[in-house]
Structure 1
Amino acid sequence: MKLKYSILAASLLGMAAVNGATVAWSSGAFTTSGGIGATLDAGQFATDGTEILAENIGGGALTFDGINFAAGTVVFAGGTAAVFHENIPTANTLLAREGTYGVDGAADTVSLSGLTIGNTYRIQALVYDGRGDAGITGRTIEFDGLNQNQYANGVSGSTWGDGLLVTGTFVADATTQDFTVEAFTGATSKGGQLNALLVHETAVVPEPTTTALLGLGGLALILRRRK
């Protein structure tokens, strides 16, 4: 079942998510290849677990690295644009070229719904801007107010550079989960930035009946050993 979700513009300025569990965030480079970094490298998204959501933020449906990304419906406060990567109409450029962005001074919030309490989820977010313009190169991104490092590595006239893959894991303690996204040039907020979003359910809490049967099986084993 595909996860339902919505996007809310929020003036949270880096505050932690206000709805749901604490998300453990980490990040690493989303690498590119080719002479000017015009191609996203495959094999960087984790795909284990049950896919709940895959969206090409700000763009149309496409398939990248065997993952079917739906057309983007996520829109931050500033709108959407197709300017963040090389203008070649292939999946391994469009996934980074298209995206949504916020407005200066305010974080944007993603709200996931339809979660199962007790199950474990993994969020993967591609953040990319390789334009190389002054004030863009060197931008960093925060998720839930936690710095995830630099996502804008372009050099004007030379390379688009690598992007950033931000990964968050959490155990759902509610049927909804919020997280905030906010980009910065130095200490100046530029609002949210998001190019692709992928969510998997990676662990499921056993049904009560299953748990009870496991318990009975263990009891039977103990009784047999005592005979």
Structure 2
Amino acid sequence: MTMSLSAIISSGVGGIAVALITYLTTRPRTRAEARKLEAEAERTKAETAKLLAESATQLTSEVDSTDLPKGWHVTGGQPEDYSYGLDNQVHQSGTASAFIRARPNPRKFGSLIQSFHADDYTGKRVRLSAMIRTKDVTQYAAIWLRVDAQGRSIAFENTQSESRKLSGTRGWTRSEIVLDVPPEGEKILLGAFLSGNGCIWIDSFTFEVVGDDVPLTEEPAQESSTQPVNLGFTKGLN
């Protein structure tokens, strides 16, 4: 049986209407979900920073120190869920790299860390960089840098944000942090960490003083508005 022209047109218009309604109703939801994911990412970053701040002074004894690169220690949210060591086969320069590899069903994250007195760097701008290679990383790999004074963190940054984190399987990739060391800084801590399944290799760490012309890498926090905005809905979409 053939359909009449009016039926075909009616059917087409109906399909377009359904598609339009679906688009209009799902678009806000997609934006809301995106904002939710961003909020969750920021919350995870804040939790990681807090755990690093708390655990960096509580170096774990559950990892055999003979497996660790000289001068490095282990910390993290659940450091025993990861293994650490040197890899003489995989390296970006020199003769070896350090690795962090997840054990089955890892919780939170594991980190390699070292610390030193801040005397030579107080009041200066410094840059920490490293080359990182990843394999099957399900969450993220990142480097971090912290300055302590009187037993608490007074400056901190990591590369865990959505635009800077490393995940999946990637070849050698450079990560860096540029941070100002406060004049009252007493100790500097730095390292790399892995969260989730997979393995990372870290090589070619550098730590250096740079000039004020080198921009800071910290991503500015979103400031809360002090006044209501767009009350007349005339400024378009976000």
Flag the structure with higher helix content. Answer: 2
- In the superposition, the TM-score normalised over structure 2's length comes to 0.38
Q: Which one has the largest radius of gyration?
A: 2
- In the superposition, the TM-score normalised over structure 1's length comes to 0.39
